[in-house]
Amino acid sequence: MSGKPFYITTPIYYVNDVPHIGHAYTTIAADVLSRWHKSGGDDSYFLTGTDEHGQKIQTVAEKKGITPIELCNEVVQNFERLWKALNIQNDDFIRTTQPRHEKVVQEIFRRLMASGDIYKGEYEGWYCVPCETYVPEAQMAEGQTCPDCHRPLTKMTEETYFFRLSKYAGPLIKFYEEHPDAIMPKERYNEVVSFIKSGLRDQSISRTTLKWGIPLPGDEKHVIYVWFDALINYLSALGYPEPGEKWEKYWPAARHLVGKDIIRFHCVIWPAMLLALGLNPPVRVFAHGWWTVEGEKMSKSLGNVVDPFEMETLYGVDPFRYFLLREVPFGHDGDFSELALVQRINSDLANDLGNLLSRSLQMIDKYREGMLPAFGAQTELDKEIETLGEKTVADMDALLDRFAFDDALKALWAFVSRANKYIDETEPWKLGREGDVERLDAVLRTLWEALRLSAVLVAPFMPDTAARIWSQLGLEGEPGAGARAAWKWGEGGEGIKVNRSGILFPRIDIEKWKKEKEQRDLEKRAKLDPTAFFKYQEPKPQIEYDDFAKLDLRVALVEKVEVVPKADKLYVLNLDLGNEKRVIVSSIRENYKPEELEGKKIIVLCNLKPAKFRGVQSNGMLLAAESPESRYEVLTLLTVMDDSIPAGSRIS
Ligand code: MSP
Pick the CATH number of 312-486 from 1.10.730.10, 3.40.462.20, 3.40.50.920, 3.30.420.40: 1.10.730.10
Instruction: Tell me, using a 6 A CB cutoff, whether residue 25 lines ligand 1.
Output: yes
Residues whose CB falls within 8 Å of the CB of residue 124, separated by 6 or more in sequence, listed in order: 155, 156, 157, 158
Cβ-proximal residues to 389 (8 Å cutoff; 6+ apart), any chain: 415, 449, 450, 453, 489
Mean pLDDT of the chain: 93
- Parse the chain into domains and list their residue ranges: 5-288, 312-486, 545-651
The topology under which CATH files domain 5-288 is Rossmann fold (3.40.50)
Which whole number is the average pLDDT over 348-370? Answer: 97
CB of 309 closer than 6 angstroms to any ligand 1 atom: no
Whether residue 250 contacts residue 242, with contact meaning beta carbons closer than 8 Å, is answered with no
**Whether pLDDT at 536 is above 60:** no
Tell me how far apart the alpha carbons of residues 362 and 366 are, in angstroms, rounded to a whole number.
Answer: 6
Residue 310 near residue 316, CB atoms below 8 Å: no
Mean pLDDT of all residues in 19-30: 97
The per-residue b/e assignment along 295-313, b for 16 or more CB within 10 angstroms, e otherwise, is eebbbbbbebbbbbeebbe
> Does any ligand 1 atom lie closer than 6 A to the CB of residue 79?
no
Atom of ligand 1 nearest to the CA of 14: 10
**Residue 207 Cβ < 6 Å to ligand 1:** no
Q: What is the secondary structure of 55-77 as a DSSP string?
A: HHHHHHHHHHTS-HHHHHHHHHH
In this prediction, residue 632 has a pLDDT band, given cuts at 50, 70 and 90, of very low
Convert the pLDDT of each residue in 475-533 to its tens digit.
999 999 999 999 999 998 899 999 999 899 999 999 999 999 988 887 777 666 555 45
Q: Does the 545-651 domain belong in CATH 2.40.50.140?
A: yes
pTM: 0.80
pLDDT of residue 650: 93
CA pair distance 308, 302, nearest whole angstrom: 17
How far is the CA of 370 from the CAs of 217, 364, 466, 526, 636, in angstroms? 69, 5, 20, 53, 63
Nearest ligand 1 atom, CA 259: 19
Q: Residue 294 and residue 16: Cα distance in Å, rounded?
A: 25
Cα–Cα dist 577/607, whole Å = 13
258 lines ligand 1 (CB under 6 A): yes
Would you state the pLDDT for residue 53? Answer: 97
The amino acid occupying position 636 is T
pLDDT digits (tens, 9 = 90+) for 230-252: 999 999 999 999 999 999 999 99
Return d(Cα 595, Cα 593) in angstroms, integer: 5
Give a three-class secondary structure readout of 121-160. EEEEEEEECCCCEEECHHHCECCCECCCCCCECEEEEEEE
Residue 436 dihedral angles phi and psi, to the nearest 5°: -85, 75
Question: What's the gap in Å between 290 CA and the centre of ligand 1?
Answer: 9
Q: What is the mean pLDDT of residues 33-59?
A: 96
What digits encode the pLDDT tens for the residues 102-161? Answer: 999 999 999 999 999 999 999 888 988 887 778 888 888 888 898 888 889 988 887 999
- Residue 555 in 3-state DSSP? strand
State the Cα angle at 474 between 470 and 476, rounded to 5°. Answer: 65
